[in-house]
Structure 1
């Protein structure tokens, strides 16, 4: 791989939302490769804190119902939105695969928790770049509902959900743009 290609992939990485997905399936082989690439993220003391729960088929439908029902149960009447219930279900329905992004805390707590969260985020970045390189859409969402994920999934002691990675194919003809302020606004040079 040359530097220009790497630069291109990094700069073309975007959130592709479930509403943009089409019905073309994402292969199990691709998901396995995605997860293998995640496994090569940097990790202090080799704690490898990332954990993933791949949700497809009927389980994906059950997750959508669980999330929308949980939203309904925890939301006060004055803040309840039927639109939000529909949006939660639609995101799950439109996605071909949903991966619950989880972090397993090192039982010995050899590193600060933030380092394990950061390592998990770097694993997700590897997944995101893999999706970008293969023209597969993905979107990381961390709704308040993730704190209830333990009622749907079985977690190990010290494991928790950091969000959901929604994945699906999309129409590549759509122009997906993004903007960043200049890096010069964010850097101080100390020579």
Structure 2
């Protein structure tokens, strides 16, 4: 189902987790459209810091293995969870595609790093809203494992991973409800 009302798209945006995905693949054309929309995020001084690495097929399986093995390597025995280990691998397996969300720091550091992180997050929000409009499930995860992605990906100088954007189709009949407290609780008006 494609939504066209921006108000509905924003209010219906939800995290749809890999365990909820079905076996219908997300098309390469749709992923290209997502990335094109991400490219139109606000960017101070046009640094355009967002970088994406699309992981599909066998590469996705290799990433799942890398992440679950890295979890095993960095987790003390007393804290190790077989459930979490399996979930890490299964999340990769269940996703139709994964996009590594990366940020390229401006080499001249003309703006604060937080602005480039925020800009990258806005690029992801553009992708998330497009997924919501098209009924495609997605989820942004930033596990501690992102600190080890330099062992999996080739990064440019100043580039780092901020998380993974999981993609998958899901059965639209699922009731995806979210709650927000009133905005009045979070707003102060000064006259």
* Alignment correspondent of 1:88: 88
Rounded Cα–Cα distance in structure 1 between residues aligned with 2:10 and 2:34: 16
**Runs of 4+ in structure 1 over 3 Å off:** none
Q: Is there any run of 5+ residues in structure 2 with no aligned partner, and where?
A: none
Aligned-pair RMSD on alpha carbons? 0.7
Rounded Cα–Cα distance in structure 1 between residues aligned with 2:81 and 2:7: 41
> What per-residue deviation string (whole Å, max 9, x for no partner) do you get for residues 31-70 of structure 1?
0000000000000000000000000000000000000000
Q: Once the 2 structures are TM-superposed, how far is the Cα of residue 23 of structure 1 from its aligned partner?
A: 0.3
Q: Please state if 1:38 is matched with 2:58.
A: no
Q: Once the 2 structures are TM-superposed, how far is the Cα of residue 135 of structure 1 from its aligned partner?
A: 0.2
* Alignment correspondent of 1:124: 124
- The SS at the match of 2:122 is helix
TM-score by length of 2: 0.98
> What per-residue deviation string (whole Å, max 9, x for no partner) do you get for residues 64-119 of structure 1?
00000000001000001111110001100000000000000000000000000000
TM-score by length of 1: 0.98
The number of equivalent residue pairs is 188
Q: Once the 2 structures are TM-superposed, how far is the Cα of residue 153 of structure 1 from its aligned partner?
A: 0.3
* Alignment correspondent of 2:97: 97
Rounded Cα–Cα distance in structure 1 between residues aligned with 2:97 and 2:80: 27
- The SS at the match of 2:89 is helix
Q: Is there any run of 5+ residues in structure 1 with no aligned partner, and where?
A: none
* Alignment correspondent of 1:133: 133
* Alignment correspondent of 2:8: 8
* Alignment correspondent of 1:168: 168
